[in-house]
Amino acid sequence: MNILIIGLTSSALGGMELHNLGNYAVLEPLIQNLRNVFPNSTIKTSMQLTKDFQKRFNIKSLNHKRFYTYGKITFFETMKDFFRLFIFKLFKNINMINNSPLLSEMWKTDIIIDFSGDIYGDNARINQFLENSAEIFFAKSLGKRVVFFANSPGPFKNGFRKVIAKYIFKKYDLIINREKKSTLLLKNLNIKNENIYSYPCPSFLFEGRNPKDNRVLEILRDEQVCLQKETVGLCISGWNMPVSPFSKYPRDEKELTVFVDFINFVLSKDFQVIMFSHSNRTDHNLNFLHGPDYYISKQIIDFYTKKYGKNDNLKLINGLYDAKTMKGIIGNFDILISGRLHAAMSGLTQIIPTLIIDYGHEPKAHKLEGFAMWFDDKNLVCNPNSIDDMKEKFVNILENKDQVKILLANKIPILQKQAFEGFLKLTNYVDITN
Protein backbone atom coordinates (compact mmCIF):
# COMPACT_ATOMS: atom_id res chain seq x y z
CA MET A 1 0.00 0.00 0.00
CA ASN A 2 1.40 3.37 -1.07
CA ILE A 3 -0.02 6.31 0.89
CA LEU A 4 0.46 10.00 0.06
CA ILE A 5 -0.50 12.63 2.66
CA ILE A 6 -1.11 16.10 1.23
CA GLY A 7 -3.08 19.12 2.45
CA LEU A 8 -2.84 22.59 3.90
CA THR A 9 -1.28 21.88 7.29
CA SER A 10 2.00 23.60 8.22
CA SER A 11 4.46 23.42 5.34
CA ALA A 12 7.66 24.99 6.71
CA LEU A 13 10.43 22.60 7.77
CA GLY A 14 9.67 21.46 11.31
CA GLY A 15 6.42 23.45 11.43
CA MET A 16 4.25 20.47 12.23
CA GLU A 17 6.64 19.22 14.89
CA LEU A 18 8.12 22.23 16.61
CA HIS A 19 5.94 25.31 16.17
CA ASN A 20 2.29 24.94 17.18
CA LEU A 21 2.58 22.10 19.69
CA GLY A 22 -1.02 21.17 18.93
CA ASN A 23 0.02 20.25 15.40
CA TYR A 24 2.42 17.67 16.76
CA ALA A 25 -0.28 16.30 19.06
CA VAL A 26 -2.25 15.43 15.90
CA LEU A 27 0.69 14.51 13.66
CA GLU A 28 2.34 11.83 15.78
CA PRO A 29 -0.78 9.72 16.48
CA LEU A 30 -1.87 10.21 12.85
CA ILE A 31 1.31 8.61 11.51
CA GLN A 32 1.57 6.05 14.34
CA ASN A 33 -1.93 4.75 13.72
CA LEU A 34 -1.61 4.75 9.95
CA ARG A 35 1.42 2.57 10.58
CA ASN A 36 -0.65 0.37 12.95
CA VAL A 37 -3.45 -0.23 10.45
CA PHE A 38 -1.27 -0.30 7.33
CA PRO A 39 1.89 -1.93 8.76
CA ASN A 40 3.58 -2.64 5.42
CA SER A 41 2.71 0.62 3.72
CA THR A 42 5.00 3.21 2.16
CA ILE A 43 4.03 6.67 3.41
CA LYS A 44 5.07 9.90 1.72
CA THR A 45 3.93 13.42 2.53
CA SER A 46 4.09 17.01 1.33
CA MET A 47 4.63 18.08 4.96
CA GLN A 48 8.23 19.11 5.56
CA LEU A 49 9.25 16.89 8.45
CA THR A 50 12.63 16.74 10.12
CA LYS A 51 14.99 13.90 9.26
CA ASP A 52 14.66 12.59 12.80
CA PHE A 53 10.87 12.31 12.54
CA GLN A 54 11.09 10.73 9.08
CA LYS A 55 13.48 8.10 10.39
CA ARG A 56 11.52 7.34 13.56
CA PHE A 57 8.22 6.86 11.74
CA ASN A 58 9.52 5.53 8.42
CA ILE A 59 7.92 8.32 6.41
CA LYS A 60 9.35 10.37 3.55
CA SER A 61 8.85 14.10 2.98
CA LEU A 62 8.70 15.19 -0.65
CA ASN A 63 11.17 18.05 -0.80
CA HIS A 64 10.31 19.53 -4.19
CA LYS A 65 8.87 23.04 -3.66
CA ARG A 66 5.91 22.03 -5.79
CA PHE A 67 4.52 20.27 -2.73
CA TYR A 68 4.70 22.94 -0.05
CA THR A 69 4.81 26.45 -1.55
CA TYR A 70 1.99 28.67 -2.75
CA GLY A 71 2.66 31.52 -5.14
CA LYS A 72 3.20 32.45 -8.77
CA ILE A 73 5.53 29.53 -9.45
CA THR A 74 3.05 27.07 -7.97
CA PHE A 75 0.24 28.65 -10.00
CA PHE A 76 2.12 28.16 -13.27
CA GLU A 77 3.03 24.59 -12.30
CA THR A 78 -0.64 23.91 -11.59
CA MET A 79 -1.65 25.29 -14.98
CA LYS A 80 0.98 23.06 -16.60
CA ASP A 81 -0.39 20.08 -14.68
CA PHE A 82 -3.89 20.78 -16.00
CA PHE A 83 -2.44 20.73 -19.52
CA ARG A 84 -0.37 17.58 -18.85
CA LEU A 85 -3.40 15.82 -17.45
CA PHE A 86 -5.49 16.81 -20.48
CA ILE A 87 -2.89 15.43 -22.90
CA PHE A 88 -2.50 12.26 -20.84
CA LYS A 89 -6.26 11.62 -20.83
CA LEU A 90 -6.48 12.33 -24.55
CA PHE A 91 -3.46 10.38 -25.81
CA LYS A 92 -2.54 8.14 -22.85
CA ASN A 93 0.97 9.62 -22.98
CA ILE A 94 2.55 8.60 -19.67
CA ASN A 95 5.40 11.05 -20.21
CA MET A 96 2.97 13.84 -19.43
CA ILE A 97 2.57 12.35 -15.95
CA ASN A 98 6.24 11.56 -15.42
CA ASN A 99 7.23 15.15 -16.24
CA SER A 100 5.26 16.49 -13.27
CA PRO A 101 6.62 16.10 -9.70
CA LEU A 102 3.07 16.14 -8.33
CA LEU A 103 1.25 14.00 -10.89
CA SER A 104 4.01 11.39 -10.95
CA GLU A 105 3.78 10.93 -7.17
CA MET A 106 0.01 10.71 -7.33
CA TRP A 107 0.24 8.15 -10.13
CA LYS A 108 2.39 5.86 -7.96
CA THR A 109 0.02 6.15 -4.98
CA ASP A 110 -2.81 3.83 -3.95
CA ILE A 111 -4.57 6.19 -1.55
CA ILE A 112 -4.22 9.94 -1.06
CA ILE A 113 -5.06 11.50 2.30
CA ASP A 114 -5.97 15.18 2.45
CA PHE A 115 -4.83 16.37 5.89
CA SER A 116 -5.72 20.07 5.93
CA GLY A 117 -6.66 20.65 9.57
CA ASP A 118 -8.96 23.65 9.90
CA ILE A 119 -7.56 25.53 6.92
CA TYR A 120 -9.60 24.37 3.91
CA GLY A 121 -12.31 27.01 3.66
CA ASP A 122 -12.50 30.77 4.08
CA ASN A 123 -9.49 30.63 6.45
CA ALA A 124 -7.11 29.67 3.63
CA ARG A 125 -5.43 32.22 1.40
CA ILE A 126 -7.06 32.12 -2.01
CA ASN A 127 -3.99 30.61 -3.68
CA GLN A 128 -3.85 27.88 -1.01
CA PHE A 129 -7.54 27.12 -1.38
CA LEU A 130 -7.36 26.87 -5.15
CA GLU A 131 -4.16 24.81 -5.11
CA ASN A 132 -5.58 22.26 -2.67
CA SER A 133 -8.78 22.03 -4.70
CA ALA A 134 -6.75 21.50 -7.88
CA GLU A 135 -4.72 18.70 -6.27
CA ILE A 136 -7.90 16.81 -5.33
CA PHE A 137 -9.16 17.25 -8.90
CA PHE A 138 -5.86 15.88 -10.26
CA ALA A 139 -5.94 12.88 -7.95
CA LYS A 140 -9.48 11.90 -8.91
CA SER A 141 -8.77 12.48 -12.60
CA LEU A 142 -5.96 9.95 -12.26
CA GLY A 143 -8.43 7.47 -10.78
CA LYS A 144 -6.99 7.59 -7.26
CA ARG A 145 -8.86 7.03 -4.02
CA VAL A 146 -8.87 10.24 -2.01
CA VAL A 147 -9.77 10.55 1.67
CA PHE A 148 -10.40 13.77 3.60
CA PHE A 149 -9.13 12.73 7.05
CA ALA A 150 -9.05 14.22 10.56
CA ASN A 151 -9.99 17.76 9.49
CA SER A 152 -12.35 20.61 10.40
CA PRO A 153 -13.37 22.12 7.04
CA GLY A 154 -14.98 25.52 6.61
CA PRO A 155 -16.49 27.92 7.12
CA PHE A 156 -17.63 28.60 3.54
CA LYS A 157 -19.33 32.00 3.74
CA ASN A 158 -17.57 33.19 0.59
CA GLY A 159 -19.87 32.33 -2.34
CA PHE A 160 -17.04 31.60 -4.78
CA ARG A 161 -15.31 29.23 -2.37
CA LYS A 162 -18.60 27.59 -1.46
CA VAL A 163 -19.23 26.66 -5.10
CA ILE A 164 -15.75 25.15 -5.47
CA ALA A 165 -15.95 23.35 -2.11
CA LYS A 166 -19.29 21.74 -2.98
CA TYR A 167 -17.74 20.42 -6.19
CA ILE A 168 -14.57 19.17 -4.50
CA PHE A 169 -16.30 17.51 -1.55
CA LYS A 170 -18.30 15.39 -3.98
CA LYS A 171 -14.96 14.12 -5.34
CA TYR A 172 -13.71 12.61 -2.07
CA ASP A 173 -14.26 8.89 -1.71
CA LEU A 174 -14.39 9.16 2.07
CA ILE A 175 -14.69 12.13 4.45
CA ILE A 176 -13.78 11.66 8.11
CA ASN A 177 -14.08 14.86 10.13
CA ARG A 178 -12.49 15.12 13.56
CA GLU A 179 -15.58 16.64 15.16
CA LYS A 180 -19.34 16.72 14.58
CA LYS A 181 -19.80 20.43 13.90
CA SER A 182 -17.89 20.19 10.60
CA THR A 183 -20.02 17.24 9.52
CA LEU A 184 -23.16 19.27 10.20
CA LEU A 185 -21.63 22.17 8.24
CA LEU A 186 -21.06 19.99 5.18
CA LYS A 187 -24.57 18.58 5.37
CA ASN A 188 -25.99 22.10 5.63
CA LEU A 189 -24.07 22.92 2.45
CA ASN A 190 -26.02 20.09 0.84
CA ILE A 191 -22.85 18.18 -0.02
CA LYS A 192 -23.94 15.13 -2.04
CA ASN A 193 -21.56 12.59 -0.54
CA GLU A 194 -22.85 9.61 1.42
CA ASN A 195 -19.46 8.78 2.91
CA ILE A 196 -19.20 11.56 5.51
CA TYR A 197 -18.41 10.53 9.08
CA SER A 198 -17.30 12.04 12.39
CA TYR A 199 -14.61 10.42 14.52
CA PRO A 200 -12.64 12.03 17.38
CA CYS A 201 -9.37 13.75 16.46
CA PRO A 202 -6.18 11.63 16.51
CA SER A 203 -4.97 13.99 19.27
CA PHE A 204 -7.15 11.99 21.69
CA LEU A 205 -4.48 9.29 21.23
CA PHE A 206 -1.44 11.52 21.78
CA GLU A 207 0.80 10.36 24.63
CA GLY A 208 2.96 12.88 26.45
CA ARG A 209 5.53 12.48 29.17
CA ASN A 210 4.28 11.06 32.44
CA PRO A 211 3.44 14.07 34.69
CA LYS A 212 5.44 12.43 37.49
CA ASP A 213 8.46 11.84 35.27
CA ASN A 214 11.61 13.11 36.99
CA ARG A 215 12.38 15.46 34.10
CA VAL A 216 8.89 17.01 34.24
CA LEU A 217 9.08 17.52 38.00
CA GLU A 218 12.55 19.01 37.63
CA ILE A 219 11.20 21.50 35.07
CA LEU A 220 8.36 22.51 37.39
CA ARG A 221 10.80 23.11 40.24
CA ASP A 222 13.07 25.16 37.96
CA GLU A 223 10.03 27.17 36.85
CA GLN A 224 9.22 27.78 40.55
CA VAL A 225 5.84 26.06 40.37
CA CYS A 226 4.69 25.09 43.86
CA LEU A 227 3.48 21.50 43.59
CA GLN A 228 1.84 21.70 47.03
CA LYS A 229 -0.56 24.48 46.02
CA GLU A 230 -3.70 24.07 43.90
CA THR A 231 -2.80 25.21 40.42
CA VAL A 232 -4.70 26.61 37.46
CA GLY A 233 -2.83 26.34 34.16
CA LEU A 234 -3.61 29.20 31.81
CA CYS A 235 -2.79 29.31 28.09
CA ILE A 236 -3.83 32.46 26.24
CA SER A 237 -3.37 32.75 22.50
CA GLY A 238 -3.45 35.59 20.04
CA TRP A 239 -6.59 33.95 18.65
CA ASN A 240 -8.38 34.78 21.92
CA MET A 241 -7.71 38.50 21.57
CA PRO A 242 -10.59 40.80 20.57
CA VAL A 243 -8.61 42.27 17.67
CA SER A 244 -6.80 40.55 14.78
CA PRO A 245 -4.25 39.54 13.63
CA PHE A 246 -3.54 36.73 16.07
CA SER A 247 0.22 37.47 15.88
CA LYS A 248 -0.16 41.15 16.84
CA TYR A 249 2.30 42.25 19.51
CA PRO A 250 2.42 44.28 21.62
CA ARG A 251 -1.27 44.51 22.45
CA ASP A 252 -3.13 47.59 23.62
CA GLU A 253 -3.89 47.30 27.31
CA LYS A 254 -7.63 47.53 26.64
CA GLU A 255 -7.32 44.28 24.64
CA LEU A 256 -5.91 42.55 27.73
CA THR A 257 -8.29 43.92 30.38
CA VAL A 258 -10.68 40.95 30.39
CA PHE A 259 -7.81 38.49 30.88
CA VAL A 260 -6.13 40.54 33.60
CA ASP A 261 -9.39 40.92 35.52
CA PHE A 262 -10.19 37.24 35.06
CA ILE A 263 -6.78 36.23 36.40
CA ASN A 264 -7.38 38.42 39.44
CA PHE A 265 -10.71 36.63 39.95
CA VAL A 266 -9.03 33.20 39.80
CA LEU A 267 -6.26 34.28 42.18
CA SER A 268 -8.92 35.48 44.64
CA LYS A 269 -10.04 31.84 44.92
CA ASP A 270 -6.62 31.02 46.43
CA PHE A 271 -5.15 29.32 43.37
CA GLN A 272 -1.69 29.51 41.89
CA VAL A 273 -1.99 30.58 38.23
CA ILE A 274 0.69 29.28 35.87
CA MET A 275 0.65 30.83 32.41
CA PHE A 276 2.29 28.96 29.54
CA SER A 277 2.62 29.04 25.77
CA HIS A 278 1.64 26.10 23.54
CA SER A 279 3.30 27.54 20.44
CA ASN A 280 7.00 28.04 19.68
CA ARG A 281 9.10 29.24 16.78
CA THR A 282 12.48 27.97 15.54
CA ASP A 283 15.64 29.48 14.14
CA HIS A 284 17.43 28.28 10.98
CA ASN A 285 18.95 25.41 12.95
CA LEU A 286 15.54 24.33 14.30
CA ASN A 287 16.37 25.50 17.81
CA PHE A 288 13.36 26.59 19.83
CA LEU A 289 12.45 30.28 20.08
CA HIS A 290 9.53 31.84 21.93
CA GLY A 291 6.38 32.34 19.86
CA PRO A 292 3.94 35.28 20.01
CA ASP A 293 1.73 33.65 22.67
CA TYR A 294 4.61 33.74 25.14
CA TYR A 295 5.08 37.48 24.69
CA ILE A 296 1.35 38.10 25.04
CA SER A 297 1.47 36.21 28.35
CA LYS A 298 4.40 38.33 29.51
CA GLN A 299 2.49 41.47 28.61
CA ILE A 300 -0.59 40.24 30.49
CA ILE A 301 1.48 39.62 33.64
CA ASP A 302 3.12 43.05 33.33
CA PHE A 303 -0.31 44.67 32.98
CA TYR A 304 -1.63 42.66 35.92
CA THR A 305 1.25 43.85 38.10
CA LYS A 306 0.64 47.43 36.99
CA LYS A 307 -3.08 47.21 37.79
CA TYR A 308 -3.20 44.97 40.88
CA GLY A 309 0.39 44.79 42.14
CA LYS A 310 2.86 41.91 42.13
CA ASN A 311 1.42 38.52 43.07
CA ASP A 312 3.76 35.61 43.79
CA ASN A 313 0.99 33.17 42.83
CA LEU A 314 1.04 34.35 39.20
CA LYS A 315 3.89 32.88 37.18
CA LEU A 316 4.89 32.27 33.58
CA ILE A 317 6.69 29.16 32.31
CA ASN A 318 9.75 30.60 30.60
CA GLY A 319 11.38 27.44 29.27
CA LEU A 320 10.95 26.11 25.74
CA TYR A 321 9.54 22.59 25.60
CA ASP A 322 8.30 20.11 23.03
CA ALA A 323 4.72 18.82 22.84
CA LYS A 324 5.33 15.66 24.86
CA THR A 325 7.05 17.51 27.69
CA MET A 326 4.39 20.21 27.74
CA LYS A 327 1.66 17.60 28.05
CA GLY A 328 3.51 16.20 31.08
CA ILE A 329 3.66 19.70 32.58
CA ILE A 330 -0.06 20.23 31.98
CA GLY A 331 -0.74 16.92 33.71
CA ASN A 332 0.31 18.53 37.03
CA PHE A 333 -2.37 21.23 36.92
CA ASP A 334 -5.58 20.89 38.96
CA ILE A 335 -7.61 22.95 36.50
CA LEU A 336 -6.75 24.02 32.97
CA ILE A 337 -7.97 27.08 31.05
CA SER A 338 -6.75 27.12 27.48
CA GLY A 339 -7.08 29.30 24.42
CA ARG A 340 -5.25 26.68 22.36
CA LEU A 341 -7.46 23.72 21.46
CA HIS A 342 -4.85 20.99 21.70
CA ALA A 343 -3.39 22.34 24.92
CA ALA A 344 -6.93 21.88 26.22
CA MET A 345 -6.90 18.35 24.81
CA SER A 346 -3.72 17.68 26.80
CA GLY A 347 -5.71 18.48 29.92
CA LEU A 348 -8.94 16.71 29.04
CA THR A 349 -7.20 13.47 28.09
CA GLN A 350 -5.42 13.54 31.48
CA ILE A 351 -8.77 13.91 33.29
CA ILE A 352 -8.14 17.54 34.23
CA PRO A 353 -11.24 19.77 34.49
CA THR A 354 -10.74 22.12 31.55
CA LEU A 355 -12.24 25.31 30.16
CA ILE A 356 -11.59 26.20 26.51
CA ILE A 357 -11.34 29.88 25.58
CA ASP A 358 -13.06 30.62 22.27
CA TYR A 359 -11.60 32.75 19.48
CA GLY A 360 -12.04 36.45 20.20
CA HIS A 361 -11.99 37.74 16.63
CA GLU A 362 -12.81 36.59 13.13
CA PRO A 363 -12.32 34.17 11.51
CA LYS A 364 -13.98 32.19 14.30
CA ALA A 365 -13.22 28.47 14.61
CA HIS A 366 -16.24 26.20 14.78
CA LYS A 367 -13.86 23.32 15.64
CA LEU A 368 -13.96 24.43 19.31
CA GLU A 369 -17.71 23.91 19.50
CA GLY A 370 -17.25 20.70 17.52
CA PHE A 371 -14.76 19.30 20.05
CA ALA A 372 -17.05 20.34 22.91
CA MET A 373 -19.81 18.27 21.30
CA TRP A 374 -17.79 15.11 21.99
CA PHE A 375 -18.26 15.89 25.70
CA ASP A 376 -21.90 17.06 25.49
CA ASP A 377 -20.91 20.05 27.61
CA LYS A 378 -22.18 23.52 26.71
CA ASN A 379 -20.03 25.00 29.49
CA LEU A 380 -16.76 23.70 28.05
CA VAL A 381 -16.14 26.80 25.88
CA CYS A 382 -16.16 30.39 27.19
CA ASN A 383 -16.31 33.75 25.44
CA PRO A 384 -13.06 35.76 25.88
CA ASN A 385 -14.91 39.01 25.18
CA SER A 386 -17.14 38.51 28.24
CA ILE A 387 -15.61 38.58 31.72
CA ASP A 388 -18.96 37.43 33.13
CA ASP A 389 -19.05 34.35 30.91
CA MET A 390 -15.47 33.43 31.79
CA LYS A 391 -16.12 33.82 35.51
CA GLU A 392 -19.40 31.92 35.37
CA LYS A 393 -17.91 28.93 33.57
CA PHE A 394 -14.84 28.87 35.80
CA VAL A 395 -17.08 28.84 38.88
CA ASN A 396 -19.06 26.01 37.28
CA ILE A 397 -15.84 23.98 37.08
CA LEU A 398 -14.97 24.76 40.70
CA GLU A 399 -18.38 23.74 41.98
CA ASN A 400 -18.50 20.55 39.91
CA LYS A 401 -14.82 19.59 39.78
CA ASP A 402 -15.26 16.08 41.16
CA GLN A 403 -18.19 15.32 38.87
CA VAL A 404 -16.26 16.67 35.88
CA LYS A 405 -13.33 14.36 36.65
CA ILE A 406 -15.66 11.36 36.89
CA LEU A 407 -17.28 12.31 33.58
CA LEU A 408 -13.88 12.66 31.89
CA ALA A 409 -12.61 9.39 33.38
CA ASN A 410 -15.59 7.62 31.82
CA LYS A 411 -15.69 9.57 28.56
CA ILE A 412 -12.03 9.75 27.50
CA PRO A 413 -11.46 5.98 27.05
CA ILE A 414 -14.59 5.80 24.91
CA LEU A 415 -13.49 8.73 22.75
CA GLN A 416 -10.00 7.28 22.41
CA LYS A 417 -11.49 4.01 21.20
CA GLN A 418 -13.65 5.91 18.72
CA ALA A 419 -10.63 7.89 17.50
CA PHE A 420 -8.87 4.62 16.64
CA GLU A 421 -12.06 3.40 14.95
CA GLY A 422 -11.63 6.29 12.54
CA PHE A 423 -8.46 4.61 11.30
CA LEU A 424 -10.25 1.27 11.10
CA LYS A 425 -12.95 2.94 9.02
CA LEU A 426 -10.21 3.94 6.61
CA THR A 427 -8.91 0.37 6.37
CA ASN A 428 -12.43 -1.03 5.92
CA TYR A 429 -12.98 1.40 3.08
CA VAL A 430 -9.72 0.36 1.39
CA ASP A 431 -10.62 -3.33 1.76
CA ILE A 432 -14.05 -2.74 0.23
CA THR A 433 -12.71 -0.79 -2.73
CA ASN A 434 -9.80 -3.10 -3.53
CB atoms within 10 A of CB 254: 9
pTM across the whole model: 0.95
Asked if the domains at 2-205+416-433 and 214-399 fall in one CATH topology, the answer is yes
Which band of pLDDT confidence, cut at 50, 70 and 90, is reported for residue 433? low
Three-state secondary-structure class, residue 149: strand
Provide the residue type at 9 as one letter: T
Cα-based distances in Å from 402 to 257, 277, 348, 375: 31, 27, 14, 16
Contact 348, 354 (CB under 8 A): yes
Q: What is the mean pLDDT of the chain?
A: 95
pLDDT at 167 over 70: yes
The CATH number of domain 2-205+416-433 is 3.40.50.720: no
Write down the architecture of domain 214-399 according to CATH: 3-Layer(aba) Sandwich (3.40)
Provide the residue type at 303 as one letter: F
Segment 323-335 mean pLDDT: 98
Residue 211, preceding peptide bond in cis (omega within 30° of 0): no
73-103 residue pLDDT tens:
889 999 999 999 999 999 999 999 999 999 9
| Higher-pLDDT residue of 270, 194 | 270
Q: What is the pLDDT of residue 371?
A: 97
Spatial CB neighbours of 261, under 8 Å, sequence gap ≥ 6 = 387
pLDDT at 348 over 70: yes
Q: What is the pLDDT of residue 158?
A: 82
Closest-CA residue to 177 (of 10, 349, 434, 425): 425
- Give the torsion sign (CA, 135, 148, 30, 345): positive
Segment 16-42 mean pLDDT: 96
Domain residue ranges in the chain: 2-205+416-433, 214-399
What are the start-end ranges of the E strands in 118-271? 145-151, 174-177, 196-198, 231-235
Q: What is the pLDDT of residue 365?
A: 85
Which band of pLDDT confidence, cut at 50, 70 and 90, is reported for residue 434? low
383-415 residue pLDDT tens:
999 999 999 999 999 999 999 999 999 999 999
CB atoms within 10 A of CB 299: 18
CA 344, CA 336: separation in Å to the nearest integer? 7
Segment 110-135 mean pLDDT: 95
Spatial CB neighbours of 90, under 8 Å, sequence gap ≥ 6 = none
